[in-house]
Amino acid sequence: MFVKNCWYVAAWDHEVLADTLLARTILDQPVLVYRRADGTAVAIDNRCAHRGAPLSMGRREGDAIRCMYHGLKFGADGRCTEVPGQDNVPARLCVRSYPVAERGRWIWIWMGDPQRADVALIPDAFSLKHPDWRYKPGYLHYDTDYLLICDNLLDFSHLSYVHEKTLGGSPNIAQSRPVVTPLPRGLNVTRDVRGTVPAPYHARLGGFQGKVDRRFNYDFLLPGVLLMHAHVKPADTPDEDMTGALQFHSCQALTPETAHSTHYFFMQAHRFRLDDATITESIYQSLCAAFEEDRQIIMAQSRMLDATPGGQMHPIAADLALARFRRLVQEFSEAEREDSMPLPAAIHRPVHAPIA
Ligand code: FES
Ligand SMILES: [Fe+2]
């Protein structure tokens, strides 16, 4: 189940250099991402309209691509401009071109109706390019449905268990009550964890001697984009006092490759010790270690679900945000199918998830 009328992250900017022809499957569509001579990004179908050879095996000629099987040439708008040995170029000999926009260091692609591709709908991943923040970019490939990864990101109670020895550090996280607030195209989730033991990695980074307060505050937006402010600071200090705090901003985007595989673009930026590259690297490494823990449990869950197709799931209070997001995905994709725009906007009051 995909929502098509959405901006998806297609690539990090460094994956598409001046001469790169990047082949990437997105929502089951083989797409070619490349750059025009002026550097702007382009996305067209990667399947040649003639006999299906990958255009990513072709050659860039100015802003166009020549298929290196029988030589057809396609412009950045997807139109065929040249057929060797033939004077006329039938209009049907075209490939689809997709709206593309580059923001910060992400190249976004619109997979739905091009008429609805409004750049105002691109999530504001501001820390991808901001002088106050540093990060190292990351990418993971998952062999599973992207919604299982959305589920994971919408319920941080798993930090206490999956990341017990890395990002978690304490059962308090699972016991704290998140506040879930609907947004027009997603949810906001805020979880305050007071007076908890710092994760070993945070204790090292922040030099914390005693207990800490932790806050996770993130928007989770269609189609699967997490934008999170998080901090760790000494316990019992005023909320607005960020002296001695470790402040993070994380941008993560899930882009379905197929119904059963996912591209995962991520980063966690820090706002302290900006000139120390070893800090940036160690935050990246600790994130990779934690995400590998997520991958182990999610892939094991995915295999179990595949092996037990009739098996039931029994909801608990911690499922609130993920259940709401899944409903939103369903509502938007059904609305697209029926083409009954405007799309539904979820307007509800904030909800405190009861403790199970
Ligand atoms: S398959 Fe591309 S030109 Fe023939
Ligand atoms: Fe996790």
* CA–CA dist 328, 343 (Å, integer): 10
* CA–CA dist 320, 316 (Å, integer): 8
* CA–CA dist 5, 129 (Å, integer): 25
Task: Please tell me if the CB atom of residue 59 comes closer than 6 angstroms to any atom of ligand 1.
Answer: no
Q: Which helix (H) or strand (E) holds 288?
A: helix 277-307
| Nearest CA-CA partner of 127 in 260, 5, 249 | 249
- Residue 97 tokens, joined: 């071109």
What mean pLDDT is predicted for residues 207-217?
A: 94
Distance between start and end Cα atoms, the chain: 30
- Answering whether pTM is above 0.85, one says yes
Task: Please tell me if the CB atom of residue 55 comes closer than 6 angstroms to any atom of ligand 1.
Answer: no
pLDDT 10s digits, 165-203: 887 767 788 999 999 999 999 999 999 999 999 988 889
Q: To test the ligand 1 pocket, which listed residue (21, 51, 66) has its Cβ within 8 A of the most ligand atoms?
A: 51
Rounded distance from Cα 92 to ligand 1 centre (Å): 14
Rounded distance from Cα 219 to ligand 1 centre (Å): 44
The mean of the pLDDT values for the chain is 93
Q: Which residue has the tokens 């609130």?
A: 320
Is pLDDT of 161 > 90?
yes
Task: Please tell me if the CB atom of residue 68 comes closer than 6 angstroms to any atom of ligand 1.
Answer: no
pLDDT 10s digits, 67-88: 999 999 999 999 999 999 999 9
Cβ atoms of 1 and 330 within 8 Å: the answer is yes
Radius of gyration of the CA atoms of the chain, in A? 22
* CA–CA dist 321, 41 (Å, integer): 35
Rounded distance from Cα 161 to ligand 2 centre (Å): 9
Burial class, 118, CB count within 10 angstroms (exposed 0-12 / middle 13-18 / buried 19+): exposed
| Minimum CA distance residue for ligand 1 atom 1 | 51
The predicted structure's pLDDT at residue 195: 93
Burial letters for 79-92: b for 16+ Cβ neighbours within 10 Å, e otherwise?
A: bbeebeeeeeeeee
Question: Under DSSP, is residue 52 helix (H, G, I), strand (E, B) or coil?
Answer: coil
Cβ atoms of 198 and 206 within 8 Å: the answer is yes
Cβ atoms of 227 and 217 within 8 Å: the answer is no
The predicted structure's pLDDT at residue 56: 98
What mean pLDDT is predicted for residues 191-218?
A: 92
Residue 340 pLDDT class (50, 70, 90 cuts): low
Task: Please tell me if the CB atom of residue 50 comes closer than 6 angstroms to any atom of ligand 1.
Answer: yes
Task: Please tell me if the CB atom of residue 246 comes closer than 6 angstroms to any atom of ligand 1.
Answer: no
Q: To test the ligand 1 pocket, which listed residue (67, 74, 83, 86) has its Cβ within 8 A of the most ligand atoms?
A: 67
| Nearest CA-CA partner of 224 in 328, 300, 134, 139 | 328
Q: Which residue has the tokens 């092996």?
A: 307
Q: Which ligand is nearest to the CA of 69?
A: 1
More confident residue, 348 or 300: 300
* CA–CA dist 162, 199 (Å, integer): 13
Closest ligand 1 atom to 49 CA = 2
Residue 345 pLDDT class (50, 70, 90 cuts): very low
Closest ligand 1 atom to 52 CA = 1
The beta strands (E) that lie in the chain are given as 7-12, 22-26, 29-35, 41-45, 59-61, 64-66, 73-74, 80-82, 97-98, 100-103, 106-110, 138-142, 179-183, 186-196, 212-221, 225-234, 246-258, 261-270, 351-352
Rounded distance from Cα 73 to ligand 1 centre (Å): 9
| Minimum CA distance residue for ligand 1 atom 3 | 70
| Nearest CA-CA partner of 44 in 103, 104, 109 | 109
Q: Which helix (H) or strand (E) holds 333?
A: helix 320-338
| Nearest CA-CA partner of 254 in 99, 26, 33, 29 | 26
* CA–CA dist 350, 320 (Å, integer): 12
- Residue 295 tokens, joined: 């991958």
Structural domains of the chain, with CATH: 7-120 (2.102.10.10), 124-352 (3.90.380.10)
Provide the pairing of β-strand 138-142 with 22-26.
unpaired
Provide the pairing of β-strand 351-352 with 179-183.
antiparallel
Helix 277-307 to helix 146-153 angle (10° resolution) is 120
